[in-house]
Amino acid sequence: MASHFFARTGSSATKTFALAAEPPVFVRGQGARLFDAAGRGWTDLASGSSANLLGYGHPAITAAIGAQAATGLVHVGPHFHAAPQQAFIERVLSLAPPHLTRVHPATNGTEATEVALKAAIHATGGRRFVAFEGGYHGRSLGALHISSTAGTRALMAPLLPPATFLPYPGEADSEAACDAAIAALDALSAEGPLAGIVIEAVQGTGGAVVPPSRFLAAVGRAARRLRVPLILDEVFTAFGRTGAWFAFTAAGLEPDLVVLAKGLGGGVPCGLVLGREDLLGRWPAGLQSSTFQLSPLAAAAGLAVLDVIATEGLLGRAQEIGAWTRAAGFASLSGVGALHAVAVCDPATGAPDAARARAIRALALRSGVVTYECGRAGHAIGILPPLVISYAELKAALEVLATAFQAAN
């Protein structure tokens, strides 16, 4: 009934009915499991679009949200602060490299991306960005400008000079492809002038693509050579999904700005931008602000998330989840830690097959498993479970997914 309501009243631009005409209506969640009013359960291998790092109903998060709500300070606006905000930001900075000394709050990942773009423009005077094929950074106009995977880019007139998109090689690409990508970086010039380079250390929406370390090293060199900010989008990967607090540390990168969101608030909307003093410490007051930026409720939830990841050893659990996922034996699997994807391609031509991927995901959903849509052509099936999922839960869910693959052949 609720689904029919949203079909009648909701905007057709949402994703509510992108996979199923009658999507489940959930009434509660526990761990990696979701339940409807009839008591039927689903295992969530999408983590609420990667936002629920600790799954559903984690006692630390519910206690933190309840305690903060009990103070009456759910929201105080951008002109004031509450105690959880300071504690949370202090904890985040303690995990970041010491050269990142400033934090700008945001409501979500798209807004945090906008903050980073504006900070780079303000600092450099440039307006052209370099981004990468397969990258995705949000759906506001500025974020779409640097996102190559969102087809809606073509519908929007550019508000900035056209971004330059460079190749982003992955595990399945040849050494020659990586060499070509590095050569394109080495050929970059600051004509425009250039405002910054925006990249994900591991592509999430692009299909859990892990690039060669030498490619990422070349990205860092290019930013230094051109004297422009290196902006790392860690919306999908922080904190802990790849088995490290930040994916860029494993890649050996030294970013100037870092965009954070999704898992940051444990399911509560939350975004941050970390940056160097010269990038975030010299803006005129009030130049960039929003009403709900880092609410006290989000900060309290985020602090609980970081506490649990540390005390329960969930960085190691992410690495275990990666090993369990790889052991399932899916072909065309890519990724790292608790961020993987299976590419679905036409067996005869090798071309991406988004229709078959959607059919497989729909079959899995009907059998009680939620997956994530990703891939540059929408042809990959994302496996990004909460870090609290058990081996038995993941094994059973992956078996359901394997059966769906066979049924869709």
- What secondary structure does DSSP assign to 222-271, as a single string? HHHHHT--EEEE-TTTTTTTTSSS-HHHHTT---SEEEE-GGGGTTS--E
What is the gyration radius of the CA atoms in the chain, in angstroms? Answer: 21
C-alpha 39/C-alpha 56 separation (Å) is 16
Which are the contacts of 100, defined by CB distance < 8 A and separation ≥ 6?
93, 255, 258, 274, 275, 276
Region label for 231, one of left (φ > 0), alpha (ψ between -120 and 50) or beta (otherwise): beta
Average pLDDT, the chain: 90
Out of 128-132, 302-306, 402-406, which region has the weakest mean confidence (pLDDT)?
128-132
- pLDDT for 22 equals 80
Q: Which residues pair with 274 in a beta bridge?
A: 103, 258
The separation between the first and the last C-alpha atoms of the chain, rounded to the nearest angstrom, is 33
Average pLDDT over residues 374-401: 96
C-alpha 163/C-alpha 145 separation (Å) is 7
Provide CATH code, domain 2-46+314-407: 3.90.1150.10
- Backbone φ and ψ for 380, nearest 5 degrees, come out as -115, 150
Average pLDDT over residues 182-193: 84
Q: Judge whether 273 and 235 are in contact, CB under 8 Å.
A: no
Out of 98-102, 177-181, 286-290, which region has the weakest mean confidence (pLDDT)?
286-290
Q: Judge whether 343 and 273 are in contact, CB under 8 Å.
A: no
In this predicted structure, the answer to whether residue 27 has a pLDDT above a threshold of 80 is yes
In this predicted structure, the answer to whether residue 381 has a pLDDT above a threshold of 50 is yes
Structural domain boundaries in the chain: 2-46+314-407, 61-310
Residue that is written with structure tokens 């060669």 in the block: 212
The model's confidence at residue 1, banded by pLDDT at 50, 70 and 90, is very low
Structure tokens at 16: 């509510």
Average pLDDT over residues 260-279: 94
Average pLDDT over residues 85-90: 96
The model's confidence at residue 53, banded by pLDDT at 50, 70 and 90, is very high
Q: How many CB atoms lie within 10 A of CB 141?
A: 14
- pLDDT for 87 equals 96
**Global confidence as pTM:** 0.92
Task: Choose among 146, 128, 120: nearest CA to 280.
Answer: 120
Average pLDDT over residues 214-224: 94
Q: Judge whether 361 and 382 are in contact, CB under 8 Å.
A: no
- By DSSP bridging, strand 128-132 and strand 194-199 are parallel
Domain covering 61-310: architecture: 3-Layer(aba) Sandwich (3.40)
C-alpha 361/C-alpha 383 separation (Å) is 11
Q: Judge whether 54 and 266 are in contact, CB under 8 Å.
A: yes
- Backbone φ and ψ for 149, nearest 5 degrees, come out as -85, -20
pLDDT tens-digit profile of 119-156? 999 999 988 899 998 877 666 666 666 677 655 555 55
Which are the contacts of 62, defined by CB distance < 8 A and separation ≥ 6?
none
Average pLDDT over residues 263-281: 94
C-alpha 3/C-alpha 22 separation (Å) is 6
Q: How many CB atoms lie within 10 A of CB 87?
A: 15
Out of 4-18, 91-105, 256-270, which region has the weakest mean confidence (pLDDT)?
4-18
pLDDT tens-digit profile of 196-211? 999 999 999 999 999 9
